[in-house]
Amino acid sequence: MTTLRSEAQLAAARAIASRTEDLFRLSGALKEGHFLLKSGKHSERYLEKFLVLQDTAATSELCGFWAARHRAPDGSPLVDLVAGPTTGGVVLAFETARQLGVRSIFAEEVKDPDGTTRREFRRGFTIAPGERVLLVDDILTTGGSLLAMLPAVEAFGGEIVSCAVMADRSGGLASLTSPKTGRNYPLSALWQLQLPTYEPGAETCPACKAGIPLHAPGSTGTAAG
């Protein structure tokens, strides 16, 4: 029985991954070229998540996969709230929470006087001690955005049930260990793919070596030089 259940779960996960990839391709969100990532590294392929998130039906469908995983057999939610980082995580947290019938909040990036950055819940957002939290985000490369959210939730005493992303472009290599407590949190992705990243420079990046113009996608969408 356990084997059959595991096989069914694997088949369901493969179907979700295939559907997620289809939605990215249909929206034109999977791009090829020479891109500067938020991490500072370069890549020859880039996932422009907002081309998916602008489609309300696609976004609702993707968030529905998460909602289904965090709903008890009787339909009740297994979490008390859904949280995401700005910017894309705001949309995803809201829609997932809407489907589960729970609260949605988001964490913003703030800079301390010493120049370091962190995530913080502002605008009156709070988490009660022991509240069950689902963290969601769009694209995971190094996991930096979610990693920065862990201490923010822990500071309130929230219980992080799981962390979920639409696409994990690390090929499953990323992990989420809190820099504050050292606790490791479960991470899942609707779609997992291997998109290599490179340090800048002709010696390490094939696109740099080929002289392909570098673009900084995202909020600017402009060439980086």
* Residue ranges of domains in the chain, CATH in brackets: 8-223 (3.40.50.2020)
User: What pLDDT is stored for residue 4 in this prediction?
Assistant: 54
Q: In the prediction, which pLDDT does 222 show? A: 45
Q: Is the pLDDT score of 214 beyond 90?
A: yes
Q: Which pLDDT score is estimated for 171?
A: 78
- The DSSP code for 169 is T
- Segment 49-104, tens digit of pLDDT: 999 999 999 999 999 999 999 999 999 999 999 999 998 999 999 999 999 999 99
- pLDDT above 80: residue 220: no
- Which pLDDT score is estimated for 170? 82
Q: How far is CA 141 from the centre of its chain?
A: 9
How many residues does the structure list for the chain? Answer: 225
Cα separation, 100 vs 104, in Å, equals: 10
**Can you give the pLDDT at residue 224?**
40
Q: What is the pTM of this model?
A: 0.85
Exposed e or buried b per residue across 93-124, where buried means at least 16 C-beta atoms within 10 angstroms of its C-beta: bbbbbebbebbbbbbbeeeeeeeeeebbbeee
Q: What is the pLDDT of residues 11-27, one digit of tens each?
A: 999 999 999 999 999 99
What integer pLDDT is reported at residue 219 of this predicted model?
55
Nearest CA-CA partner of 63 in 23, 121, 10, 26: 23
The rounded mean pLDDT for the chain is: 91
Q: Is the pLDDT of residue 141 over 90?
A: no
Q: What percent of the chain has pLDDT over 70?
A: 94
Place of tokens 């696109």: 207
Q: What is the mean pLDDT of residues 137-148?
A: 88
